Amino acid sequence: MTWSIFFQIFVLALLGPVIDQNFYYVGLKYTGPTFACAMSNILPAMTFVMAVIFRMEKIELKKVRCQAKIFGTVVTVAGAMLMTLYKGPLMHLPWTNGHAQPSGGEAPGAAGVDPTAREWFLGSLFIIIATLAWASLFILQTHTIKKYTAQLSLTTLICFIGTIQAIAVTFIMERRVSVWTIGFDMNLLAAAYAGIVTSSIAYYVQGLVIQKTGPVFASAFSPLMMIIVAVMGSFILSEKIYLGAVLGAVVIVVGLYAVLWGKHKETQEQEADAKAALPVASKGPDGASVLQGAAAAAGDDDGMRSASNGRGAGSASAV
């Protein structure tokens, strides 16, 4: 491992476990889960813009596949925003009937949060910073895994260094000893789940997907968490599902299919170009093998240059 790779891993740990999670949790506290989840759905668009800036994605507006990727990214974000901001009438489902709606008619998780104007502004700013850090994590991780291909080792180093950084930040920001108290309650379960699932496993799987498809394709699936939360909340917690959630889910699926279709066409074009660049052997009239394609053309050019040099040398010796 070189110092350059170690520095990249250090920055990855700073972006993910430290900046992203801490700023997101503070923004969640100030604004509430509904707004925080909606704001996080700008991740695909932010990742796509950053990938274009760093030339990881090419914009060719004349090609349909590029138009599909742009359209799908915009539609996916719009669908996620629709799920959060538009409530609509209640959908009467068999498994949710007979259960009282929590929070006195408000959307689940929305009650209990009444921020002031200053807290709302700060919370919005913190969530935007967290989302920007998450998008930067996608971009930098794409660059790092090209040089450090051991995915499991990379994930371990990111989480380990991130833990050390988080401990240092806690010592600086928190002066109370009580924050280090660990009890066998829901707080411990939430912390363990966040560390094992949303950090360790998520970073590892995310790295595998980025290595094969790129950062834009991987981030395009992040708005699916809105659908997953709505479905799991309906079955497990008997939460109510409203028309806005159903319409938003449909829009998200349409956007994801557009992104997937555009990425599939791009992969097909890259494979076709790679095959066209390979030499193809065929037999000539005299039975000898003849190379065709770009490699054969390059060979012909080399042969012509060699013949020219030979003729020049022959002429010089004749003189």
Look-up: residue for tokens 């003189």?
319
CB 220 within 8 A of CB 73: yes
Tell me what pLDDT residue 9 has: 94
Give the residue-averaged pLDDT of 206-228. 77
208 and 309 in a common domain: no
Tell me what pLDDT residue 289 has: 52
CB 138 within 8 A of CB 203: no
| Residue of 12 and 173 predicted with greater confidence | 12
Q: Say how far apart CA 250 and CA 88 lie, in whole Å.
A: 15
Token pair listed for 100: 């009282």
Whether this model's pTM surpasses 0.75: no
- Three-state DSSP class for residue 290: strand
| Residue of 95 and 136 predicted with greater confidence | 136
Can you spell out the DSSP letters for 66-92?
HHHHHHHHHHHHHHHHHHHH---SEE-
CB 49 within 8 A of CB 219: no
pLDDT tens figures, 239-250: 677 788 778 878
Of the pLDDT bands very low, low, confident and very high (cuts 50, 70, 90), residue 5 is: very high
- Enclosing domain of residue 299: 281-318
SS3 letters across 222-286: CCHHHHHHHHHHHHHCCCCEEHHHHHHHHHHHHHHHHHHHHHHHHHHHHHHHHHHHCCEEEECCC
- The residues that bridge with 241 in the sheet, in sequence order, are 91
Sign of CA dihedral 75, 211, 137, 175: positive
What total of structural domains would you count in the chain?
2
Neighbour-count burial of 119, counting CB atoms closer than 10 A to its CB (0-12 exposed, 13-18 middle, 19+ buried): middle
39 and 128 in a common domain: yes
At position 131, the amino acid (one-letter code) is: T
285 and 262 in a common domain: no
Q: Say how far apart CA 138 and CA 216 lie, in whole Å.
A: 8
15 and 124 in a common domain: yes
Q: Say how far apart CA 51 and CA 95 lie, in whole Å.
A: 43
Of the pLDDT bands very low, low, confident and very high (cuts 50, 70, 90), residue 288 is: low
170 and 291 in a common domain: no
226 and 172 in a common domain: yes
92 and 221 in a common domain: yes
List the one residue out of 191, 207, 41 whose CA is nearest residue 130: 41
61 and 176 in a common domain: yes
pLDDT at residue 223 tops 80: no
pLDDT at residue 6 tops 90: yes
Mean confidence (pLDDT) of the chain = 76
Tell me what pLDDT residue 161 has: 94
Of the pLDDT bands very low, low, confident and very high (cuts 50, 70, 90), residue 110 is: very low
Tell me what pLDDT residue 46 has: 82
198 and 238 in a common domain: yes
209 and 231 in a common domain: yes
212 and 263 in a common domain: yes
Cα atoms found within 13 Å of the Cα of residue 229, Cβ hemisphere only: 17
CB 5 within 8 A of CB 147: yes
Of the pLDDT bands very low, low, confident and very high (cuts 50, 70, 90), residue 312 is: very low
108 and 16 in a common domain: yes
